[in-house]
Amino acid sequence: MSVKIEAFSVLTVVGFSTSFILCCLWISGANGAPYSLGRPHLTLYDHEFQKGQRYHQDVGPQCYNLPKVFDDRASSIDTHQSCIKVCTERDCKGCFNMKPGTKGHFTLREIHLNDNISSFTQC
């Protein structure tokens, strides 16, 4: 049996012969954003309703500053059922908790964070 993982997006398990496939599982979030198993992660989008260019990052306990090309550009977010602290300033200052099911995920404008996220960390 072999296991093949490609760019965090496709996991395929193939049986002993080419005609016998045990499992084929597509692992993805909204709009095909990749999931990373077992670790909190987020995807930021430059348009509302999780559309447009996206930035995806696994999230650990440290602070993550957005790269300059995505700094202050996010208009929606997918926290993939994790609590992520998003911050209006670099180095995780001026932060707000984005918990699963709370408003703002599809349009950051409704919580006054549209084009205003510069860093993030775990809650």
CATH code: domain of residue 87:
2.60.20.10
Give the pLDDT of residue 39.
84
In a domain, 79, yes or no: yes
Q: Is the pLDDT of residue 1 over 80?
A: no
- Report residue 33: phi and psi, to 5°: -65, 135
Other beta carbons within 10 angstroms of residue 86's beta carbon come to 27
In the DSSP assignment, the letter for residue 80 is: T
In a domain, 47, yes or no: yes
In a domain, 54, yes or no: yes
Range of the domain at 94: 36-122
- Report residue 93: phi and psi, to 5°: -115, 145
In a domain, 18, yes or no: no
The structural domain count of the chain equals 1
| 7-58 pLDDT tens trace | 333 333 333 333 333 222 333 444 444 445 578 999 999 999 999 999 999 9
Q: Is the pTM of this model over 0.75?
A: no
In a domain, 28, yes or no: no
In a domain, 1, yes or no: no
